[in-house]
Structures are given as structure tokens and as C-alpha cells.
Structure 1
Amino acid sequence: MDEQKNNPNEQDEQPKLDQHDAPAGKYIRLKPFVFIMLIFVLILSTTGITMFALTFGDEKVVDVGAPERREFQKLYQAYDELKAGYYADINQETLVNGAINGMIDSLGDPYSDYMNQEEAAQFHENISSSFQGIGAEIQERNGYISVVSPIKNSPAEKAGILTNDKIMAVDGESIQGMGASEAVLLIRGEKGTSVTLTIQRGELTEPMEITIVRDEIPIETVYADMLEEKVAHIQITSFSENTYDELLSAISEMEEAGMKALVLDVRQNPGGLLTSAIDISNLFIEDGMPLFQTKEKGKDADIYVATNGTKVKVPVSLLIDGGSASASEILAAAMSESAGIKLVGLNTFGKGTVQTANELTDGSNMKFTTAKWLTPEGNWIHEKGIAPDVKVEYPSYTQLPYLDASLQMKNGVLSDQVKSAEEMLTAIGIDPGKIDGLFDNQTETAVKQVQKEAKLEETGILTGETTYALMDRLRLKIEKEDPQLLKAKNLILEELAK
């Protein structure tokens, strides 16, 4: 609002009436100066009475400002007593942030979170072109930080982090009870630095430590390759700002290569931007058909429908698994219910809510759930997920725990890590002998074979580069012998053959 400027000559412009101009016995018009002084005296008198009433009288005599909200009286009392009586100095900002955090935590919603300025900056970075860290989507669930899914080709994926791994500690510091935003600040860091995560995989296994070297995590979200018989395989790893454009480019590339069918893949895709999910869903759904619904408290559902535009014309199937969450599930539900596209793989994660991030005046941010989202047919998949049309399990060896490359496993050692190594050796076709956790002569011979094929010194000791070579062999096998992808491909070929 512009300030009103006082005119220095304003008083001179007022009409004046001197005493000698006034008839006897008539009222006299006061000069402006005298009138202003009287008003000033009146204001001072009123202020004095008010101050007297506030100081010595009933405190209800004067009611100024907005009425106090009674629901906050206990909060104010707690704040004042802490400020006055706590034995050490208190940071006011920390206290206020803690109060807001407490309110949001009391909702019991793992998707609602308060972020201070630093955490809010990290949040905005998530949907930018890149960030530095380990590359894993996490969430707080039941007091623990759990991995939703590692980002494809990220340090987290290469180190063996899996969906549903619980992160118990970061660099030896327990993070139990932390929110996801707090945990992210500890896990992320500059490229080239390392972080050690203490991972709990399953309820019965012992926690293990995984050291990961942070890197630049590019938000490249679409990967395409052509399979046999001109069936394209396009994987979407997250729904970010540029994902739709990346997908259009990948589809064009595959069309130029002669694509006859498409297997779209959102396994291990934790979601992302709703707008991206809408744009991508629109590629596969006919104009006017529903994509999904949103339902806010006390309101009728809003139905989002497909619009005109670019459409994929070839037969499609969609790969899903337990790491497919949020926007991935919106896409899966739309493709299944509005286009009859077959879903292959495993049950999805089950996130059926929509969050809005509201920036506060100091740059901090409250991200909280504002609506449910429903499938085109009105189903709420929250904490249930979406079941595939064709269920295909992962091979058991894909769930093996990470091997700690800093350990030396050699003849005579008995441990769970040795047992996992024996299972890995078996999976890649090298016989380690009996799988019992005991590193014996046969295990040593198997390790020497790995070292020979990897052109490493044949010591028979599983450590360092040998451990990484073994895990790389297993990863290549998983990628090559992907039973879910093969099933999805065969379904498409059957459809083409009809």
C-alpha cells in the first residue's frame, strides 16, 4: 500500500475566520490548528483512561485486537514456562519448529511432514534436474525410516539397497523416530563423500552396515531399449518435471526402430509429480475416459479425464511391483480400469493420498495430505495397493542381502554373510558346495573361479574387488533373466498374434 503524503501547505489552504469577522453572540469557527490540538488532547485523555483501566481496573474493560483462540492457551503456557524455567538457554526457532513438527506427527500420517528452511530446499531439489546423494526414496513408517525404492543406476541401487529396507542409523547415529526430511539431511551430502547406513532387512536378520559413496544423481527418469521381435521396453523411474518429454522422446526413438508393442515399466518407481502422472496417463487412455478421482474432505469427488493429444497406438502391458507407489499407481489404475491394459508383476505399494506443499513466511514448508485419490472406478487403494492381472514373483536370489566388501571371508569363517555369498555363487552357476554359512575348501575354489573370470588375483579370499565382482555378476543375471519382463513381453506377443 502506498503511503499518503502530507501536503506541507495543507493548513494554509483551509478557510480562516478571524475574530473581528464574527458577529457578536454567534458561534465562532475554530481555526484548524486549535481544532487539531483539541483532538490531540481528547486522544491523550482517552489513552489515559484506557491505561488506568488496564492497570487498576477489570481487565475486561478494554477489548483490543482479535479474540484469543482458547485452543492455544495450553501451548502458550507451555512455551512461556519453558522459556522462563528451563535450566539452559532455549532457541526460540527450534522450539516453534518442534511444536509444528509435533502437530503434524500427531496426525499419524507418514506422508505429512514439516520442513525447516534447509529441509524445504532439499524438498524442492527433489524435482529439479539433479541432486547429490545416494539416490533412494525414503519414508517414515511406524517410527522407522524405510526405503520405498532406490533410483535406477544410483549409488544406493549399486550398493544393494532394496525396497522395504529399514535404515536404523546413519554413520552410527540412530535415526529411529526421525521424520523423513530429517533423515534426508543426514543421508545426503556432497559428491565423493561416503555415508554408512545401518540396514535392517526383514524382521529376523541381523542389521548390516552398507557404506555408499554419494554422487550426482541426475533426474534422468526414462530408459528405453528394444527387445526381441520389436517389443520395446521403456522404464520410468520417477515422475519428475521432464519425465513426460523424456518419455515422448523414448517412444519416438522406439517407433523409428520399428516398435510393434511396448512393455512400460514402473517397477521400483516411488512416484513424483501429479501433473507428470496425468500427462503420461493421457498417452494411453482414450479421450473422455477417466484417469483418476480426487476426494477432499466434505466435497464431492473431482474426476480427471483424458483429453485429446498424442496417443500410443501399439499394444501395451505394464510392469509393477512393491516399489511402484503414488503416481505409478495412478498410471497403473488408469491403464487397467480405463484401457484394459494388463498389469504384470507384484502388488503395488499402496499410497492413495495426495499431498500439498505449503511454503510458510520464513521459507519453511508444510507438506500434508489434502485429499484421497481414487481409481477411475472409485476404488481407494491406500495401504492395499493394486494387484497385477498376472502375478510373477522375483527369483529368491534377487532378495539376497548386500555383502560387506570390507569383510574378509576366507577358509574357516562361519557367518550369515558367507551363507549369502554361497547363495550368490550358486545363482550365477558356480558351485560353492553345501550352503551352510561355512567357508570351506569348495567355497574357496568357487571364489577363485570368480577372481579368475574377473581377472583378479586368485587368493580365494572374498573381500574388496572380489566381493564387488560377485555382486556385479548377480546383478547382470537379474537384469538378463527378468521373469516379469519376459512374461509381459510374451503377453504382448500373444495379443499381436491374435
Structure 2
Amino acid sequence: MTRSRIFLFGGIILAGLLLFIFWGNKSPQPGPAAENVNLQPIEEAYERILQSSITAVNGEQLLEGALRGMTATLRDPYSTYFSKTEAIAHHESLADERVGVGIEVMEKDGRFIVVSPLKEGPAEKAGVQPFDEIVQVDDVKMDGKSFGELLSSIRGKEGTNVKLVVYREREDKHYTFTMIRQSMEVITVKSKKLEQEEKSIGVVEISVFGEKTAEEWKKQTQKLIKEGIDGLLIDVRSNPGGYLGSVQQIASSLLEPNKVFTYMQDPEGVLEPLTVATEKETDYVKKMRNLPVVLLQNSGSASASEVLAGAIQGNDRGIIAGTTSFGKGTVQETWKLSNGGEVKLSSHRWLTPERKWIHGKGIKVDLEVEQPALFELRVNPATSTSELGDFNEDVAYAQKVLNAFGEDSLREDGFFDGQTKQAVVTFMHKRGKSSSGKMDIDFYTVLHQEISKFQADKANDKQAQMAIGYLFHVLK
């Protein structure tokens, strides 16, 4: 079994992300229990199931089930087994380029719903729309397939064709789109400059700590330094984590040489400090290390994002604003298996520079700012029409949104009562739309449009507005 790289990633969006940092050169050694255990019962069960079970199953399926069962026994949500297909997707999750058709998809009730096509991507150009259900890829129907199998079917070699068959519920029609797979660059760092009363700050958003995030960070911050800024706002809200190496390089541009940005603790409790990389004393580095810093986080900021927040807070390098972070304080490593799969295990804890373990607690903020519920709400594509008397998650989601828009004081348990029906009618009428009071595709389309409009208005981003205002106040 080959040992792979170490990674930090919150289990919020994807299964896992590799890290490029090793500490120590020891290979893992099996403990006494592993050496003495009798594996013969597993072989006996394997043979007996194949010979005697009335359920159709093959040896590969049994092996996959056994591997998943072993990691499930750990009762650790971050330790898991990846099949060969899942392992490939796992490695691609932080690649700087991905080959595909450019769509964000979510699985709901066994159906694969398009959340949104990437702007100017192959899917958007072909005509794929939000809320389309993917029912077939090439000649393979997706009924009963896993999310990993769907992704594997859509991905492929750059320049090759792929055919998607989608069902569009609001038109009750199936559409077939043929498109060419293309390589799409993944941008993980964006920046902008804000000015106020002869002072300026740089706002840098990091969506995930990917393969080239540190390079993107340096490029964006060098640009801001050249333009002239007096303060820096780092936005890692809803950043689920990523490569620890990227965090180290970013921290190295903010902290003084030899500063500890995190500690790693092995299963025996031994702590090892990780220090920032040595940076040449350029004008860029000097200015970066002296800028007032605010890091903005929320409950979706996890793992590697929390390492950066802890490094800044623990070294008194800046303040943390927003809300308490997710609270993932473990580090995972992956080992390759002979069948092409991988096993991912939690192998270390990470601690802040103050030697605090934030697992299950999160990084506390210095400046707490709650965000409007609508601003952080993700689109939830409905899979069916709901009406008076129904009880389901789609109704509960809509009730929550309607309450956030101030339509009425509705229940939010998912039961479609008379008050909910009237709120649907009122909501639609206020926007010039007719309504029968049902939560149908027309209702959900308008609902999602209103959510997008609210989120696009930066004035509704109370956390960012507060953090920006604080920085400008400090600079006066």
C-alpha cells in the first residue's frame, strides 16, 4: 500500500483534497493487533456469499463493501474509502484546470439537478439551463447511478464529444445536447481595491486552497501593493479548505520569519511546529507584513481556512470577523491501494499557534457579525410540485425563504397549510406573476431569481460591509 499526500479539507462540499506537506519520513507501521488478526473469516464470508447468496453480486462489489465497512467502523466522517473512480474525482477536485462541460450539479432524491451552468462554458452555450435534470450521458442512463459515476461519465479527454439528455420539468420535455469537453481554468483567488477618504484597502477572496492558490495570491496581492493599499481584507467565507502548502505560503507573506503557523499532533500526542517559509525581504514582503489585516470567515470556513485564521489570530497579526468557523481540527492522509482506489484516514490533529485544538468548536471571531439568512442561502432545486396538504423538504425550504423575504410568519416544518398557500400567492403577485398557490416550477424559478438578486446586491453583505468599515476606521 503506497502512502500518498496529506490534506486538510472540511467535509462540506467534496470528499477530500491533497496536501503537499510531509512531516517526518517514517512509513506507517502496523500495530500488534493488525499483525495478529485472523483474516480468514473475511475470505470465508467472501466465498460463501458468492456461492450461496440469492442476491446478484460480484467479487469486486464485495471487496468495495468490505473496504467501506472497515473505514465506517472508525466512526470518523473524514476517514473513508474511495473507489478508483472516486479517487480520480478526489484528485481532480483541487486541480488548477478541469476538463468537462462546465456545470454545477447536485444530487437530490436520487436525481441529478443542474444548479447552474458555468458562464461561457460548453453546457451554457449548448443550452443547458438551471433545474434541468440529467437523465442520460451518451448512451448510459443515470437512473440508479451514483454521483461519482455521473461525474465520471461527463468528464473525459479534452476535445471529445459528450451527449447529455436532460428533462426540463417546466416544459415537460426532454432535450438532447451534444457538446465538446474543454479544459477550464479554476480561479481560486480574486481581488479588488476599495477607496474611501484618501485611504484604500485590498479585498482578496479565496474560494478554496488549490494547487495554484498561493501563486494566485501572490499575483493578486502584488498587483494591489503596486496600486497602493493601506489595509487588507482576506475573505475565506465558505472556503472548505485545501492544500496546507498553500496556507503556509500565504501565511509566509503575512508573518515574520520563523513564526509558527500551526502545530501537528500525531496519534501518540507528539507536537511538531510548522513554521512559515523563509521569504526574501523584498518591498512586497515588507509591505505585506505591515498591512493591517482583517480575515472574514463564517460557519462554512473549514480546515485549511481555519489554519490561516488561527495563524493570523494566534500571532496577533490581525483580527477575525464574521462568525465562528466550522471547527475541523483533523488532518487526513491518503494511501493508494492495489485496486486503484484509496483509503483516506485522519492521522493527525492540527493546533493553533497557541496550541488550541478547535475541533468541534471552530475559530472564535474578534468582531462578530451575523449575516442575513438570505445572503448565505444556497439554491435548492425543487424536484416536484407541492400543494395544500403536502409535507416535504421543498416546502420547508420555500417557507424559510418566504419568511426571510418578510412575506408572512410561516411555519418552517415543511407542512403546506393554508397560510403557506396564501404567502405563495402574495409573493408571486407582488412580482407581477399569477399563481394558483402551488409551489410549482414557475414559483421556484421566481423564488431563485429573487434570492440571486438579493445576493448580488453588495449592500446586503453585512459581514463584508462591517469588516470594510472597520478597516477604514483603523486607517483614519
Task: State if a TM-score over 0.5 links the two structures.
Answer: yes
Structure 1 residue 266 corresponds to structure 2 residue 236: yes
Whole-Å separation in 2 of the counterparts to 1:328 and 1:151: 27
Structure 1 residue 331 corresponds to structure 2 residue 308: yes
Equivalences for residues 267-306 of structure 1 within 5 A: 267-298=237-268, 300-306=270-276
Deviations 1:213-258 (A, max 9, x none): 9998742100111223211111000011100010111112212332
Change (3 A) 1:382 1:417: closer
Deviations 1:320-362 (A, max 9, x none): 1111111001100001001341000111111111111111223
The aligned residue for residue 28 of structure 1 is none
Whole-Å separation in 2 of the counterparts to 1:404 and 1:239: 28
Whole-Å separation in 1 of the counterparts to 2:324 and 2:203: 20
Shift of 1:83: 3.2
Whole-Å separation in 2 of the counterparts to 1:407 and 1:92: 38
Shift of 1:184: 4.0
Considering only aligned residues, what root-mean-square deviation do their CA atoms show, in Å? Answer: 4.1
The aligned residue for residue 447 of structure 1 is 431
Kindly provide the amino acid, as one letter, of the partner of residue 449 in structure 2: A
Deviations 1:340-391 (A, max 9, x none): 4100011111111111111122321111111111111111111111111111
Shift of 1:72: 1.4
The aligned residue for residue 138 of structure 2 is none
Whole-Å separation in 1 of the counterparts to 2:381 and 2:351: 43
Kindly provide the amino acid, as one letter, of the partner of residue 110 in structure 1: P
Whole-Å separation in 2 of the counterparts to 1:424 and 1:81: 57
With normalisation by structure 2, the TM-score equals 0.66
Please, which runs of 5 or more residues in structure 2 have no aligned partner?
A: 1-34, 108-115, 124-128, 132-141, 156-162, 168-176, 280-284, 411-418, 437-441
Change (3 A) 1:246 1:86: same
Change (3 A) 1:232 1:159: farther
Whole-Å separation in 1 of the counterparts to 2:165 and 2:468: 39
Kindly provide the amino acid, as one letter, of the partner of residue 240 in structure 1: G
The aligned residue for residue 83 of structure 1 is 50
Whole-Å separation in 1 of the counterparts to 2:229 and 2:324: 28
Shift of 1:424: 6.1
Kindly provide the amino acid, as one letter, of the partner of residue 392 in structure 1: V
The aligned residue for residue 190 of structure 1 is 154
Structure 1 residue 123 corresponds to structure 2 residue 112: no
Deviations 1:59-114 (A, max 9, x none): xxxxxxxxx95431322232232233334564222222221211111001111111
The aligned residue for residue 192 of structure 2 is 225
Kindly provide the amino acid, as one letter, of the partner of residue 277 in structure 1: V
8 Å Cα contact 2:403/2:409 also seen in 1: no
Moved more, 341-350 or 414-423: 414-423
The aligned residue for residue 455 of structure 1 is none
Structure 1 residue 364 corresponds to structure 2 residue 341: yes
Q: Secondary structure of the residue that 2:47 maps to in structure 1?
A: helix
The aligned residue for residue 451 of structure 2 is 471
Please, which runs of 5 or more residues in structure 1 have no aligned partner?
A: 1-67, 139-149, 161-170, 176-181, 197-212, 427-431, 449-457
The aligned residue for residue 354 of structure 1 is 331
Kindly provide the amino acid, as one letter, of the partner of residue 472 in structure 1: S
Change (3 A) 1:379 1:321: same
Whole-Å separation in 2 of the counterparts to 1:495 and 1:240: 32
Structure 1 residue 71 corresponds to structure 2 residue 38: yes
Higher relative strand content: 2
Equivalences for residues 92-103 of structure 1 within 5 A: 92-103=59-70
Kindly provide the amino acid, as one letter, of the partner of residue 94 in structure 1: Q
Q: Secondary structure of the residue that 1:79 maps to in structure 2?
A: helix
Q: Secondary structure of the residue that 1:331 maps to in structure 2?
A: helix
8 Å Cα contact 2:265/2:350 also seen in 1: yes
Whole-Å separation in 1 of the counterparts to 2:42 and 2:383: 50
Q: Secondary structure of the residue that 2:190 maps to in structure 1?
A: strand
How many residues are aligned here?
368
Q: Secondary structure of the residue that 1:377 maps to in structure 2?
A: coil
Moved more, 483-492 or 374-383: 483-492
Whole-Å separation in 1 of the counterparts to 2:106 and 2:363: 20
Q: Secondary structure of the residue that 1:71 maps to in structure 2?
A: coil
Deviations 1:22-62 (A, max 9, x none): xxxxxxxxxxxxxxxxxxxxxxxxxxxxxxxxxxxxxxxxx
Change (3 A) 1:152 1:486: farther
8 Å Cα contact 1:347/1:388 also seen in 2: yes
The aligned residue for residue 107 of structure 1 is 74
Change (3 A) 1:440 1:221: closer
The aligned residue for residue 214 of structure 2 is 244
Kindly provide the amino acid, as one letter, of the partner of residue 309 in structure 2: A
8 Å Cα contact 2:375/2:461 also seen in 1: no
8 Å Cα contact 2:193/2:201 also seen in 1: yes
The aligned residue for residue 50 of structure 1 is none
Whole-Å separation in 2 of the counterparts to 1:418 and 1:80: 51
Shift of 1:490: 2.3
Q: Secondary structure of the residue that 2:192 maps to in structure 1?
A: strand
The aligned residue for residue 318 of structure 1 is 295
Q: Secondary structure of the residue that 1:228 maps to in structure 2?
A: strand
8 Å Cα contact 2:204/2:235 also seen in 1: yes
Shift of 1:283: 1.5
Deviations 1:259-292 (A, max 9, x none): 1111001000000111111111212111121110
Q: Secondary structure of the residue that 1:263 maps to in structure 2?
A: strand
Comparing both chains, which one has the higher relative contact order based on Cα–Cα distances under 8 Å and sequence gaps of 6 or more? 2
Whole-Å separation in 1 of the counterparts to 2:312 and 2:467: 15
Shift of 1:487: 1.7
Whole-Å separation in 1 of the counterparts to 2:79 and 2:96: 24
